Structure 1
Amino acid sequence: MFQLKIFSSWLIFLSVLRHSYPITDPDVEGEALIEFLRALNDSNNQIKDWNSFFVSPCYSWSNVDCSNKHVISLNLASKGFSGTLSPSIAKLKYLVSLELQDNNLAGPLPDYIANLTRLEYLNLADNNFSGSVPATWGRLSSLKHLLLKGNKLSGHIPDTISNLTGLAELDLSSNGLTGTVPMPLFSIPIFNFSNTLLRCGSSLDQPCASKPSLSGSTNKPKLVKVVGFASCGLFALIILGAIFVYRYHHMHRHKTDVFFDVSGEDESQISFWQLRRFSWRELQHATKNFSKSNVIGTGGFGKVYKGVLSDGTKVAVKRLADYQAPGGEAAFQREVQLISVAVHKNLLRLIGYCTTSTERILVYPFMENRSVAYQLRDLKEGEKGLDWAMRKNVAFGTAHGLDYLHNQCNPKIIHRDLKAANILLDDNFEAVLGDFGLAKLVDTRVTHVTTQVRGTMGHIAPEYLCTGKSSEKTDVFGYGITLLELVTGQRAVDLFRLQEEEEDVLLLDHIKKLLKEDRVKDIVDRNLETYDSEEVERIIHVALLCTRNYPEERPTMSEIVKMLQGVGLQERWNELEQHNNEEEVSNQLMSHQFVWTAEYSTLDQEAIRLSAAR
């Protein structure tokens, strides 16, 4: 217990570091970087891993350094960029260092750089920037290094640059600048005005460069260096702590070696990496003692409650009914593990967790717009449902989320319970794929993993039901059924269709029957006032390709993302129709063969009877 409290102290220390900076939406920085890269014109495809569907660039993007989940440094030197600087760079409010030297960037130096008030290191040397140095840059009060040599700059040096009293290095050499150098700039420890039309040297009795000249210096601001060393130090501490906890638990042969609990202690401020550990008392207070009135959903392993934290943040609290039941503890650890490695715009983000001797609880952001299933079928009077544009957006967002799980996670992740009820909607009605309780990490060396069959009837692929073997293609099947839910608004399995003299309880069979009878209009949800018939037809075609009987015949999620945009869909659909026609002809031949055999058998029996009579 003493050792655990020591480790808890380390976690508290890390938490203090984590909470010492204000928090902003990580989506803003990621989207800003994508816009910035687009304007740079990366024709040589130097940056390959910046993906607009990742929640934050701080997790895996190259050439990006972060601190407290914020981008603080961009090193994009010598990449062959030939574009311009996008205004989106101004959205990186925490940027400390920007390196774009040795590219072919052109255009004027933008005023909006002045909005980067934390910027300390700016290197735009050896590009093709033209025009004057913006006077607004005098507002960069934190700037210590300004390197602009080797461009096509002209005009005077603005007097406002003299306001940058913290400058330690200024290099304006090899430009077409004219006029007089403001006297305060000669007091900068490192400066270089050589190879310009500026008045310095004998004409001004001031040297054009300090000695020794460090033109083109790559000195970084101390903060970036300190952050790098601190990150390494913190990483080492965490690794040592993890090893210590592992050895402690191993020696005492505890059943679990991932989570620990110090009963009775308020650990609501303890953080482990990006996850926050809540105390039982805090979640009890947030959910009004887990009141029935706060229940917003029920899953396979427990109930989900709406909660409000002490700071006013709304959360969804998933409480496992009995973590000691078969699979319960494994589900908890699996979900925490999965969320920690799967970070994507269309995947539900895990805020934190709570563990006690009797409880396992997960805490997620609260989704005001509930689930797609709620929006399609459970709206209260006066609430407006999803229009066609929203449904189409859900289809795209879900596809991107699954594509990430299947193809960009290592090891890959299979969801295994994809349905409208597990697709949540954020404040902007963007699809957020949730409930990884049934998901399973899949080793890339194994194509199929035998498991206990789990999921929801009507969404389960036939091969999964028969063999208990799941793969990415079982998710593809579930996605196809979900597309049909979006188009029709109906459930995957609905016994009420029997009351309407419809024989098909399964939605998939019902849709196939309507298509065969050329009743396409009867497929679309009656609550949709307007829709694009071509887009509806496209999504239905994708859905039927996803729900083919044999998994090898179904497309991958990467192919589906393209087909939703119309790329490659017609070819696959033609193949399906040809297959169906051949199957129908084969069935007819078998039917005729059966009839002929039956008739022949009848004649033969009659001949035998007559022969016997003689």
Structure 2
Amino acid sequence: MEMMEAPAKRRIVMISIHTYCLFFTAVSLLLVNPIEAEGNITSKVEFDALYSLRGTLGIRKYDWPRREEPCTWKGVGCRNGRVVSLNFTGFLRTNRGSQNPMFEVDGLQNLTMLEKLITVGFSLPGPIPEWFGTKLAPNISVLDLQGSNINGTIPEGIGNLKNLTRLRLSNNNLAGSIPPSFQNLSRLQTLDLSFNNFTGRISIAQFDSLRRLQFLSIGSNQIEGSIQGNIGDLTQLRYLDFGHNKFDGDIPPEIGVLSRFEYLDLSNNSFRGELPNSIWESDILMFLDVSNNNFTGNISNIDFSSTANSTNGSRIFDLSANSFFGVIPASMVDFSERLSSLDLSDNYFQDRSPFDSDSIDVELNCFFINSTTSTQKNNTICEEFYLSVGRNDEIPDSQSPPPPSNNPSSDRISRRNLIYIIAGVSAVVIFLLLILLIICLMKRRNRSYTSQHQTTVAANSHASQQVWSTVYSSIPKPVIPLQTVVGDSFTYEQLSQSTSDFNESNLIKHGHSGSFYRGILENGNVIVVKKFESEQRYLKEFEFVSRVMHLRLVPFIGYCSNDKDDRFRKLLVYKHMDFGDLSTAFSRKSLPESDDGLQSLDWITRLKIAIGVAEALCYLHNDCGPPFVHRDVRATSILLEDNFEVRLGSLSEVCIQEGSSRRNVVTRFFRLHGSSEPNSPGNAAAATCADDVYCFGKVLLELVTGEIGISGATEEKTKKTLEETIPCINIKEKELLNKIIDPSLVVEEDLMDEVWAMAVIAKSCLNSKPAQRPLIKYVLKALENPLKFVREVNKNQSDTTSLLHSMSSARLAVAENWSDPAVALPAPMLDAKKTHQSNQRDSADDD
């Protein structure tokens, strides 16, 4: 209220000085154009409403400071002094607010000009208020509550918000049925209800009035029954996800005539019957997954020649775990060459497999494989199936082994071969026994030395493990399934116009996989458009960002649909980061009147950046199943938003960690494209999380020394830098650190221990042996509480590298005894871990 009273007091002083004529002039101007200063809110009702939300939601003063105008607050958008958008993505609650979070947003009723409400990842436990449909601003067009821990049912009144163009309620705990009133949302373009607990049946008639609908996802629910209605009326539909439900019956034949279809997921249901032939005739269908159903049909009767000449080769088709049968026609072989991945496994295709590509899976069929280790179904299962479908004349017999030979000369040759084999095996066994005997003699000679050595190592290891089991216990994380979070669809003309036809003046940089351009949409939002050079890199990054979301990853906004000529465009759209990346943050210009020239990042900011990057890597390594490896952690990949909040970018190199055995369409896709590009840094097939930890160590060294460029330097230059800096990081001679610390970094005496702790952690991450580098989750714990880390190191006076490494060996012993309420986060959106303790000292008003 003090902010609102100050301008009034100033006006009273002016009135007492000015003349009678000026008094009337000032009053008339105030009535015509009240408080139109840029960034100032003009409505006291809305001003009070925002402060009401600040209290009920527990918003930190770090995000909504009292001393600043509400229109400048993080996530608050204003137009002409009125609040038009609220975005709580990435927000953390105060200590008091996080103790009992609730869906209390009564203040929204007074924001009558609100157009967008976005709470992605911000926890709002409880049901959607019943008044949302009647008292929410009538002009609201975007309601995005993804991953907000909402429960209960969808209020029927939501259908009254007739100006909605985007409604996203995915990744919550919503239940019940889908309200029939949704048919009133005639302007809706995006409807995402996936990953909830909706039940009951569904009819396309509920959506037949949504003629503008482009994105419809109700996957991963409990919806049952057949699909009723004419889906062909939804002519603008590009994306349809009905996967992982309990649907049955035939799919509507009209589904194949939707000319704009790019994504269709019907997997993991009980659909039956045949797929419409028109599905195979589509040139723009990028993704088709009908796996784990009861579809059937003779593949021999389908003509794939109509799409064999398509130029679009970045598509994924999965027909696995159904009952398709017959002989693969030649036209399908030509068709498969236009796909990135084709899965035909667990069906009943017969004869010989015509495919020889690793991108095509043909396991568990009725193919004849001339091998003793066949991965095909046995003859009995194949015969029973072909009899059950009335195809007696097509029973596959090519799997039967050839009859035994009656040729005597052949028998003699076989006998002679057997003798050779036995002799060879005997020689190998004797050789191995001799080697084993030599090894036993050598072990006996060194037994006394080994015993003494093990005693010493065991003592040191026990001390190290005791420290880390006390300070940083293991945190078992739940496996988070990949989620579908496809963004908005933009036309090529929109993105071309936003970047002035990709003019060089808007070029931000050239990256590994493409070029980045700054763009401004018609609504004024600043974006970054990534223009890919390779179709494979485009599809790989699109597959990742459209299925994995986290507040520490660069926000994905959307993609480019085909242009007016139906040409395939390789463009992805991301949110623009106002503070650039870490490499530019160090050279950010200070105010003109300052004499400093360049403004150095303070220590608290550097520590905050390090924690943010560790949180992003911890999500990729520990919270995703299977784990992902970033493979490009460097200063230019660390993007910074307002208040230096970290968003990890450069996602084109992400791949599955070596040794991950979980099989699905996404993992196969990443393995397929991970190392196909000649310029890919490293080998994707051998990438491990330890590689990311090493690169992160170089980033930590940059933050300590201020020498930006270490993380992106060549191997030779990196080796030279480490030879100069690592010897100065010594547990027994802390003063050596002053030789390498950033001279522009002004650090108070009580924070020097934190700087030293980061340097020590960096040294451990830079261990030349991958197996001896710490796991990123332990690095994160150490960075979150560096002073505690320092106390334990000083207490034990242990070698820090082995101390950090002992976390990995001790994690299994303490995993079962660990319990931390903060781990129980709602999937798939994970709240950020606690920011550094300095942010928690903020003030009592946040409590």
TM-score category, normalised to shorter length: 0.5 to 0.7
**Equivalent-residue separation in structure 1 for 2:658 and 2:119 (angstroms):** 24
Q: Specify the alignment match of 1:368 in structure 2.
A: 578
Residues 470 and 34 of structure 1: is their aligned pair in 2 closer, same or farther, counting only changes over 3 Å?
farther
The alpha-carbon deviation at position 353 of structure 1 amounts to 1.4
Aligned to 1:310, the other structure's residue is in SS state coil
Equivalent position to 1:515, from 712, 729, 734: 729
> Quick check: 1:533 aligned with 2:734?
no
**Deviation string, structure 1 residues 504-540 (Cα, Å, up to 9, x no partner):** 8643222113336953112221222335211100101
**Deviation string, structure 1 residues 307-349 (Cα, Å, up to 9, x no partner):** 11111000111112x2xxxxx2221112112112221121101
Q: Specify the alignment match of 2:374 in structure 1.
A: none
How is 1:228-377 mapped onto 2 (pairs within 5 angstroms)? 234=216, 235=218, 238-239=240-241, 242=264, 247=280, 248=282, 251=304, 252-253=307-308, 254=310, 255-257=313-315, 274-320=486-532, 322=533, 328-356=534-562, 357=567, 359-377=569-587
* Conserved? CA contact 2:612–2:645, under 8 Å: yes
The alpha-carbon deviation at position 568 of structure 1 amounts to 5.8
1:284 aligned partner, one-letter code = S
The alpha-carbon deviation at position 456 of structure 1 amounts to 11
The alpha-carbon deviation at position 239 of structure 1 amounts to 3.1
Equivalent position to 1:547, from 762, 766, 785: 766
**Equivalent-residue separation in structure 2 for 1:68 and 1:230 (angstroms):** 24
Q: Specify the alignment match of 1:400 in structure 2.
A: 615
> Quick check: 1:70 aligned with 2:145?
yes
Q: Specify the alignment match of 1:412 in structure 2.
A: 627
The alpha-carbon deviation at position 486 of structure 1 amounts to 1.1
* Conserved? CA contact 2:154–2:179, under 8 Å: no
Aligned to 1:24, the other structure's residue is in SS state strand
Q: Specify the alignment match of 1:171 in structure 2.
A: none
**Equivalent-residue separation in structure 1 for 2:602 and 2:727 (angstroms):** 25
Q: Specify the alignment match of 1:39 in structure 2.
A: 100
* Conserved? CA contact 1:480–1:544, under 8 Å: yes
**Deviation string, structure 1 residues 470-495 (Cα, Å, up to 9, x no partner):** 10110011111111111112134499
Residues 273 and 402 of structure 1: is their aligned pair in 2 closer, same or farther, counting only changes over 3 Å?
closer
Residues 312 and 446 of structure 1: is their aligned pair in 2 closer, same or farther, counting only changes over 3 Å?
same
The alpha-carbon deviation at position 452 of structure 1 amounts to 4.6
**Equivalent-residue separation in structure 2 for 1:557 and 1:577 (angstroms):** 14
Aligned to 1:528, the other structure's residue is in SS state coil
Percent of pairs with identical residues: 22
The alpha-carbon deviation at position 370 of structure 1 amounts to 0.3
Q: Specify the alignment match of 1:478 in structure 2.
A: 695
**Equivalent-residue separation in structure 2 for 1:231 and 1:347 (angstroms):** 36
Aligned to 2:699, the other structure's residue is in SS state helix
Aligned to 1:335, the other structure's residue is in SS state helix
User: RMSD in angstroms over aligned alpha carbons?
Assistant: 4.9
**Equivalent-residue separation in structure 2 for 1:220 and 1:355 (angstroms):** 34
Q: Specify the alignment match of 1:583 in structure 2.
A: none
Q: 249-258 vs 442-451, which deviates more?
A: 442-451
Residues 455 and 573 of structure 1: is their aligned pair in 2 closer, same or farther, counting only changes over 3 Å?
farther
1:331 aligned partner, one-letter code = R
**Deviation string, structure 1 residues 197-253 (Cα, Å, up to 9, x no partner):** xxxxxxxxxxxxxxxxxxxxxx99996997857996642772366157964458424
Aligned to 1:364, the other structure's residue is in SS state strand
Aligned to 2:578, the other structure's residue is in SS state coil
**Equivalent-residue separation in structure 2 for 1:287 and 1:307 (angstroms):** 4
2:775 aligned partner, one-letter code = T
Consecutive unaligned residues of structure 2, counting only runs of 5 or more, are 1-83, 103-117, 130-141, 161-174, 183-192, 204-215, 220-230, 232-239, 243-254, 256-263, 266-275, 289-303, 318-483, 805-847
The alpha-carbon deviation at position 278 of structure 1 amounts to 1.3
**Equivalent-residue separation in structure 2 for 1:306 and 1:359 (angstroms):** 17
How is 1:111-190 mapped onto 2 (pairs within 5 angstroms)? none
**Deviation string, structure 1 residues 339-390 (Cα, Å, up to 9, x no partner):** 1222112110110112543631111111111001111246588563421111
**Equivalent-residue separation in structure 2 for 1:225 and 1:560 (angstroms):** 50
Residues 455 and 371 of structure 1: is their aligned pair in 2 closer, same or farther, counting only changes over 3 Å?
farther
**Equivalent-residue separation in structure 1 for 2:712 and 2:647 (angstroms):** 29
**Equivalent-residue separation in structure 1 for 2:279 and 2:93 (angstroms):** 40
* Conserved? CA contact 1:438–1:454, under 8 Å: no
1:562 aligned partner, one-letter code = K
The alpha-carbon deviation at position 443 of structure 1 amounts to 7.2
* Conserved? CA contact 2:757–2:789, under 8 Å: no
Q: Specify the alignment match of 1:556 in structure 2.
A: 775
1:480 aligned partner, one-letter code = G
What number of residue pairs does the alignment pair up?
382
Aligned to 1:363, the other structure's residue is in SS state strand
The alpha-carbon deviation at position 95 of structure 1 amounts to 9.4
The alpha-carbon deviation at position 575 of structure 1 amounts to 3.8
Q: Specify the alignment match of 1:149 in structure 2.
A: none
Q: 342-351 vs 390-399, which deviates more?
A: 342-351
**Equivalent-residue separation in structure 2 for 1:441 and 1:258 (angstroms):** 18
Aligned to 2:741, the other structure's residue is in SS state coil
Aligned to 2:643, the other structure's residue is in SS state coil
Q: 234-243 vs 415-424, which deviates more?
A: 234-243
The alpha-carbon deviation at position 24 of structure 1 amounts to 3.4
* Conserved? CA contact 1:342–1:405, under 8 Å: no
**Deviation string, structure 1 residues 176-202 (Cα, Å, up to 9, x no partner):** xxxxxxxxxxxxxxxxxxxxxxxxxxx
Aligned to 2:522, the other structure's residue is in SS state coil
The alpha-carbon deviation at position 574 of structure 1 amounts to 2.2
Q: Specify the alignment match of 1:430 in structure 2.
A: 645
TM-score (ref. length: structure 1): 0.52
Equivalent position to 1:56, from 103, 116, 120: 120
**Equivalent-residue separation in structure 2 for 1:430 and 1:225 (angstroms):** 40
> Quick check: 1:391 aligned with 2:580?
no
* Conserved? CA contact 2:657–2:689, under 8 Å: no
Consecutive unaligned residues of structure 1, counting only runs of 5 or more, are 1-21, 42-53, 77-93, 98-116, 121-218, 260-271, 323-327, 581-614
Q: Specify the alignment match of 1:164 in structure 2.
A: none
The alpha-carbon deviation at position 295 of structure 1 amounts to 1.4
1:507 aligned partner, one-letter code = T
The alpha-carbon deviation at position 279 of structure 1 amounts to 1.4
How is 1:187-198 mapped onto 2 (pairs within 5 angstroms)? none
* Conserved? CA contact 1:346–1:401, under 8 Å: yes
